[in-house]
Copies of this chain bind each other. A is one copy, B any other.
Amino acid sequence: MNGKRLGIRDIARLAGVAPATVSRVLNGQKLVSEETRRRVEEVIRTLDYVPDATARALSVRQTKTIGTVVPTVDNAFYASGISAAQKYLAANGYTLLLATSDYDPELEFEQVRNLVGRKVDALILRGADHSPVLLQFLAGHGVPWVAVGSYSPQSPFPSVGIDNHAAGFRACTHLIDLGHRRIGLLGARTGNNDRARGRVRGAKDALAGAGLPLPEHWVFEVGAGLDDARQTAKALLAEPARPTAVVCTTDLIAFGVVLECARSGLSIPESLSVIGIGDLEWSRHIQPALTTISIPTKEVWRRACDFLVHSLAGGNVCQHFECGFELTVRETTASPAIARSA
A residues lining the B interface (CB < 8 Å): 1, 5, 48, 50-55, 57-58, 63, 65, 72-76, 79-80, 82-83, 86-87, 90, 95-100, 102, 111, 113-119, 137, 139-142, 226, 255, 259, 262, 281-282, 285, 287
Inter-chain contact A5/B142, CB cutoff 8 Å? yes
The interface residues of chain B lying within 8 Å CB-to-CB of A97 are 95-98
The distance in angstroms between the C-alpha atoms of A74 and B81, with both chains bound, is 8
The distance in angstroms between the C-alpha atoms of A82 and B87, with both chains bound, is 16
The interface residues of chain B lying within 8 Å CB-to-CB of A75 are 79
Most buried by B among A54, A95, A140, A281: A54
Inter-chain contact B74/A83, CB cutoff 8 Å? yes
**Nearest residue in B to A4 (C-beta to C-beta)?**
B142
The interface residues of chain B lying within 8 Å CB-to-CB of A53 are 117-119
**Nearest residue in B to A52 (C-beta to C-beta)?**
B119
Inter-chain contact A100/B83, CB cutoff 8 Å? yes
Inter-chain contact B285/A140, CB cutoff 8 Å? no
Closest CB in chain B relative to A322 CB, distance in Å: 24
Inter-chain contact A50/B5, CB cutoff 8 Å? no
The distance in angstroms between the C-alpha atoms of A121 and B242, with both chains bound, is 56
Inter-chain contact A95/B83, CB cutoff 8 Å? no
The distance in angstroms between the C-alpha atoms of A240 and B285, with both chains bound, is 26
Inter-chain contact B63/A73, CB cutoff 8 Å? no
The 17 sampled A-B contact pairs (Cβ below 8 Å) are A1-B140, A5-B141, A5-B142, A48-B137, A50-B116, A51-B117, A54-B54, A54-B57, A73-B73, A74-B83, A76-B76, A86-B99, A90-B100, A95-B115, A96-B97, A97-B97, A259-B285
Inter-chain contact A117/B48, CB cutoff 8 Å? no
Among candidates B58, B87, B111, residue contacting A55 with C-beta atoms closer than 8 Å: B58
The interface residues of chain B lying within 8 Å CB-to-CB of A115 are 95
The interface residues of chain B lying within 8 Å CB-to-CB of A285 are 226, 255, 259
The interface residues of chain B lying within 8 Å CB-to-CB of A111 are 90
Q: A53-B117, A73-B83, A287-B287 are in contact. List 8 more A-B contacts (CB 8 A).
A: A52-B117, A52-B119, A53-B119, A54-B54, A58-B58, A90-B99, A95-B97, A259-B287
The distance in angstroms between the C-alpha atoms of A118 and B54, with both chains bound, is 6
Closest CB in chain B relative to A87 CB, distance in Å: 7
Among candidates B50, B58, B80, residue contacting A74 with C-beta atoms closer than 8 Å: B80
The distance in angstroms between the C-alpha atoms of A1 and B82, with both chains bound, is 32
Given contacts A90-B100, A97-B95, A285-B226, contact A141 B50 (CB under 8 A): yes
Among candidates B73, B137, B262, residue contacting A82 with C-beta atoms closer than 8 Å: B73
Q: Which 4 pairs show the lowest CB-CB distances between chains A and B?
A: A74-B83, A79-B79, A1-B140, A50-B117
